[in-house]
Structure 1
Amino acid sequence: MRRLGELLEAVETETAQGGRAVSYEPLGVVWLALGERSRSEGATAGQIEAVERLQAVTRMEPRLVAGRVVRLDGRDWRIRLVDPDQPGPGRATLSLERTTR
């Protein structure tokens, strides 16, 4: 199944109080063929943290770089790895990940 996702770049700025604020700048949209999804859980400092991983195939393009975010159905997935020319020329397999607490 193909899904349309919004590609975003995280932009950090310093607040007036000296803290950091993160906003997301839209870079466009990408069509993704979603693959397998996996989930693992662990406890950190008394909190349960779940990490979801998702594989997706799309057309290769220069905007697809590790660290950017793909928003699918209102959920933000960080691009962890871009594997170019997989599964074929002109395509890329993305390893996406999101953490929930």
Structure 2
Amino acid sequence: MLDDHVDFRSGKIVFNDFDLNSDVPLNEQIWSLKEDILQVEYSNEYILDVGWVHDFDAEKGYFKLVIIQQEDWLNPIFVWETKSVRQLYNYMNEAVSKLEILVK
């Protein structure tokens, strides 16, 4: 499912618990809404990280996608937030494009 929407190019997936379906309402996928969903490393310097803020709460929560440089989790260099799986795919593709420029 994820591979159909995002090509991580030079990134190496190091954690993948992404099992969300954009055609199913979030409140029917509540057990997939957790802090740690996906992590992809780029050239040992950057991390693309996807999680859900407010575990298992479809109403209050949202996806948070960040790009981290040199494991500085307190100061991400890019942050995207959304409640939509479709928009999350768009943000992941945007993040990959930015990362591919950064790692050149």
User: Is this a same-fold pair by TM over 0.5?
Assistant: no
Under TM normalisation by the shorter chain, which class is it?
under 0.3
Bigger Rg over Cα: 1
More strand by share: 1
More helix by share: 2
Q: Name the TM-score, length of structure 1 as normaliser.
A: 0.28
Q: Name the TM-score, length of structure 2 as normaliser.
A: 0.27
